[in-house]
Chain A
């Protein structure tokens, strides 16, 4: 206690068996979908690619990824990424995306992709900032929310950068 310091700490931490409930709590309020056990198993299996974001020691956001094998290369699928409403606009989402990008660069990942509901302009604009591009539209991707279509957003990681490193 004490001290007038107003330093705000922002940390990313791993998801484990013991705190997976935190991720579930976030998902319950962030997304209109109930995720199944496979989602959580994939998230735990992706290791460092799945993270909880802590703002002043409070868990306020998360990114959950799944690693996929695609023709001799590994790509990252971002299953969910979200931040609790009161804590948006503080750079936490950016920090989460950057974390995935940096980690992917280090680990020779060929591409990162994700799905966005086609009317979610904010999210689309957000990912475009990081160099994601819309590569296709999937019809009737969602079953119980409208609009039911989604875009696939993709970012290729140039293999050149890997060679340099």
Chain B
């Protein structure tokens, strides 16, 4: 134990602590130096000085001092606490927790350290630890509201709802009768709502309801009160009362679909899958008709009826639903209706209806059976709706004809250009889609959505440079690209990453994918502040919800895409290790060995120099601070030493890197086939046979008829059969396991791989993608069967899915699938004749596809502009209204 400081220095030490808390770091440093002059080895002072320096962004010094301080005074809880704080500031929570624990060993009742520890435990989800710490805090200071609440929340998170309720009730027991005072009514109300939600969660419905109703006067959030009340009533089967409340909720907010479904439940008219018997649907019809009358200003009631009505009734309701919206001009009408297209019968009815409306407007200027004349814009909106309809139905030509006519009718409506861009994207002409999105953007330069959509289309068309230029039009000046990173603009990073991947620039691709991963880590970090804030503010329901959201953060599709993209990059890096400097290698291979050596040395020097420069820059950045206009000091952001991701591709073992992200995917998106496909690919390359087999089994259990599942299954056992006979014990064990497992797989039961492949084919003889998978496996299993395999693919027929109306049949094959098959022919089969004949065939099916060099795509028309100009001029010059009429009021230029 270090002897205590004399009183003068002891006071100075207090100054350091105070200055740290009030962020007067300079003052703190002065005081620390004054003590250290006399007691240069005083541990706590050294530590505090380090902590202060840390806040001044002098990290290396900070760590040195804090460690030195600790060495000089190992028995000081202050030194340990400071060490913990330092780790915490660097987000190394595990180490920080260790330090706090050491501090608490010396001073077990230190409230501050306990509180800091509890925050870290909540962050790290060390729930048992969290409960303990919170309990200790409550025992030490039971007159603090926050300690009661904190203990209760800890119990709740640790799945001990009942205990949490008990704690909250004990807390209520400490309150006076007239609690809460006016300024704390909201907080208290929140606590009560939280408590009833806990009761509900542990199934004590009666008690929850009783409690809720008893405390009603003290609950400020009346809406939440009603929603909780009705949820309890319904769960208790008290449906009549529930119905009343839902009706009153609907009156408050007739746009909330949940209330409608709640009401349906109370009336016994709800089904999860949206299917209803005839009787039910006519009852529902009556219900919604009466709701439409009562809530006449709401469109939700009208829209929901379209979901359950069928046949003629559906047609009538759809008719009266769309008419006013077409008159008014509601651009989102199609996306509002689009869920109805999942049912082919409804899609057919809509098609008939729309065509009839179109015809009527064209011939009479009004809707059928209506005296009223429609404004001229109705025809344009009708055409807009029809074009999206036919796009959805896969009839690209009709869709384009309709949208072109709409553009010719009113060329100033921006949505038309966006929609045309989308249609062309679906048709497979990405450059033309990007050009149209750009045209839409140019028509309103203040619209960020149009700008973003345009950027996305450009990236999809692999026009990354153009996309970058366009996207920065909406970022703050000066900080261009970083700004997007700081704003966590993930769609942009994903789209660029995917584009770079397609173009083979794995460094930049990885850079973008890993940025998305980083954002997710940052979001996890972001919850830290809320552990103390929410307990103080009593927003407990939202707090717990937020924690649950954080727990499944990495299952978000953005993360999934980024991780899958990164893994694909690593797989490619493994398969083609020299790819990134292939050019240099080629150059070198033509040189004599002596020169080769020189060149290599030169290269190495150059790399070293670049590295040094980047480091120097970084150093400068982290050491200096800029004084911004407001006079506040701000640390400059470190310069990115590797803006193009060159270092990311120069890694020793890409498979190990990939495994990191695979683990996150397996943990968070285990229901996705893609996850296990990637696991299969990765583990086969790592020669982790059992893990690869596990992936195959997962895929089969998710979808045993999926072409990829089949591929992996056959490939796996085929590869295993080529392995050398096992020598080591573990290899023998693996082989035995696989032999036994193979017996359990129905696909391979008493069948050879070739037979299994045949039976898979027979089962799915009509499906292109299944045939392609079977063909590929046939070839993989026996390379002499190439012709037979190719025939399997080329003999596939593109059947008609449905014939509807006069506007032509719809074929079954999807563009994406046909491209996949094309790639298969090019890569696996490596057969240029088959692939080019496939290309020619698909160019007919998909006349706008750039991939297949189709006749109407911008790739064939040479210039994207030609395609578009042609389209927009079409309408004007040929539309019959012609330029003659257009001169109506025209006065021409000087």
Bound form: Cα–Cα A90–B889 in Å: 14
**Inter-chain contacts of A87 with B (CB < 8 A):** 376-377, 410
Minimum CB–CB distance from A51 to chain B (whole Å) comes to 14
Q: Is the CB of B324 within 8 A of A3?
A: yes
**Inter-chain contacts of A150 with B (CB < 8 A):** 892
Q: Is the CB of B888 within 8 A of A122?
A: yes
A41 proximal to B (CB < 8 A): no
A76 proximal to B (CB < 8 A): no
Residue interface mask B315-331, A partner, CB < 8 A = 1: 00000000011011110
Among candidates A2, A28, A114, residue contacting B299 with C-beta atoms closer than 8 Å: A2
A107 proximal to B (CB < 8 A): no
- Residues of B852-894 whose CB lies within 8 A of A: 872, 876, 881, 883, 885-894
**Inter-chain contacts of A21 with B (CB < 8 A):** 442-445
Q: Is the CB of A56 within 8 A of B891?
A: no
A72 proximal to B (CB < 8 A): no
Q: A17-B445, A86-B376, A86-B379 are in contact. Are A32 and B889 (CB under 8 A)?
A: no
Q: Is the CB of A58 within 8 A of B889?
A: no
A12 proximal to B (CB < 8 A): no
Bound form: Cα–Cα A2–B891 in Å: 41
Q: A2-B299, A55-B375, A56-B328 are in contact. Are A28 and B411 (CB under 8 A)?
A: yes
Q: Is the CB of B375 within 8 A of A122?
A: no
B636 proximal to A (CB < 8 A): no
Bound form: Cα–Cα A123–B884 in Å: 12
Q: Is the CB of A57 within 8 A of B892?
A: no
Bound form: Cα–Cα A48–B79 in Å: 71
A19 proximal to B (CB < 8 A): yes
**Inter-chain contacts of B876 with A (CB < 8 A):** 28-29
Range, interface on chain A: 35 or more
A101 proximal to B (CB < 8 A): no
Among candidates B299, B443, B883, B891, residue contacting A116 with C-beta atoms closer than 8 Å: B891
Please name the residue on chain B nearest to A138 by beta carbon: B894
Minimum CB–CB distance from B403 to chain A (whole Å) comes to 15
**Inter-chain contacts of B329 with A (CB < 8 A):** 56-58
A30 proximal to B (CB < 8 A): yes
Among candidates B296, B327, B886, B894, residue contacting A29 with C-beta atoms closer than 8 Å: B886
Minimum CB–CB distance from A4 to chain B (whole Å) comes to 6
Please name the residue on chain A nearest to B441 by beta carbon: A21
Bound form: Cα–Cα A4–B296 in Å: 10
Minimum CB–CB distance from B362 to chain A (whole Å) comes to 12
> What number of B residues sit within 8 Å (CB to CB) of A?
42
**Inter-chain contacts of A59 with B (CB < 8 A):** 412-413
Among candidates A26, A55, A56, A145, residue contacting B892 with C-beta atoms closer than 8 Å: A145
Q: Is the CB of A115 within 8 A of B445?
A: no
Q: A18-B444, A21-B443, A150-B892 are in contact. Are A86 and B409 (CB under 8 A)?
A: yes
Among candidates B327, B411, B443, B887, residue contacting A19 with C-beta atoms closer than 8 Å: B443
Bound form: Cα–Cα A60–B891 in Å: 17
B106 proximal to A (CB < 8 A): no
**Inter-chain contacts of A105 with B (CB < 8 A):** none
Q: Is the CB of B892 within 8 A of A117?
A: yes
Chain B binding surface, main DSSP class: loop
Please name the residue on chain B nearest to A89 by beta carbon: B376
Minimum CB–CB distance from B441 to chain A (whole Å) comes to 9
**Inter-chain contacts of A90 with B (CB < 8 A):** 376
**Inter-chain contacts of B885 with A (CB < 8 A):** 85
Q: Is the CB of A2 within 8 A of B893?
A: no
Please name the residue on chain A nearest to B333 by beta carbon: A1
Bound form: Cα–Cα A115–B655 in Å: 74
Among candidates B330, B375, B444, residue contacting A8 with C-beta atoms closer than 8 Å: B375
A78 proximal to B (CB < 8 A): yes
B298 proximal to A (CB < 8 A): yes
Q: Is the CB of B442 within 8 A of A85?
A: no
B372 proximal to A (CB < 8 A): yes
Q: Is the CB of A31 within 8 A of B892?
A: yes
A79 proximal to B (CB < 8 A): yes
Minimum CB–CB distance from A153 to chain B (whole Å) comes to 8
**Inter-chain contacts of A123 with B (CB < 8 A):** 887-891
A83 proximal to B (CB < 8 A): yes
Among candidates B410, B887, B894, residue contacting A58 with C-beta atoms closer than 8 Å: B410
Minimum CB–CB distance from B518 to chain A (whole Å) comes to 34
- Residues of A67-90 whose CB lies within 8 A of B: 78-88, 90
**Inter-chain contacts of B299 with A (CB < 8 A):** 1-2
**Inter-chain contacts of B894 with A (CB < 8 A):** 79, 115
Please name the residue on chain A nearest to B302 by beta carbon: A2
Minimum CB–CB distance from B781 to chain A (whole Å) comes to 59
Residue interface mask B20-60, A partner, CB < 8 A = 1: 00000000000000000000000000000000000000000
Q: A56-B377, A58-B377 are in contact. Are A30 and B891 (CB under 8 A)?
A: no
Bound form: Cα–Cα A164–B741 in Å: 103
Q: Is the CB of A35 within 8 A of B893?
A: yes
**Inter-chain contacts of B297 with A (CB < 8 A):** 2-3
Minimum CB–CB distance from B743 to chain A (whole Å) comes to 61
Residue interface mask B323-355, A partner, CB < 8 A = 1: 011011110000000000000000000000000
A14 proximal to B (CB < 8 A): no
Q: Is the CB of A79 within 8 A of B889?
A: no
Q: Is the CB of B890 within 8 A of A58?
A: no
**Inter-chain contacts of B376 with A (CB < 8 A):** 55, 86-87, 90
Bound form: Cα–Cα A104–B330 in Å: 37
Q: Is the CB of A85 within 8 A of B411?
A: no
- Residues of B355-378 whose CB lies within 8 A of A: 372, 375-377
Please name the residue on chain B nearest to A119 by beta carbon: B887
Bound form: Cα–Cα A93–B297 in Å: 35
Minimum CB–CB distance from A14 to chain B (whole Å) comes to 13
Task: Give 8 CB contacts A-B under 8 Å.
Answer: A1-B325, A2-B299, A58-B380, A115-B891, A122-B889, A123-B889, A145-B892, A150-B892
**Additional pairs, 14, CB under 8 Å, beyond known A18-B444, A86-B380:** A6-B327, A22-B412, A25-B443, A32-B886, A33-B892, A33-B893, A57-B329, A58-B377, A58-B413, A81-B889, A81-B890, A85-B885, A115-B894, A142-B892
Residues of B within 8 A of A (CB): 296-299, 302, 324-325, 327-330, 372, 375-377, 379-380, 408-413, 442-446, 872, 876, 881, 883, 885-894
Closest 8 CB pairs of A and B: A86-B376, A59-B412, A1-B299, A2-B299, A18-B445, A18-B446, A21-B443, A29-B876
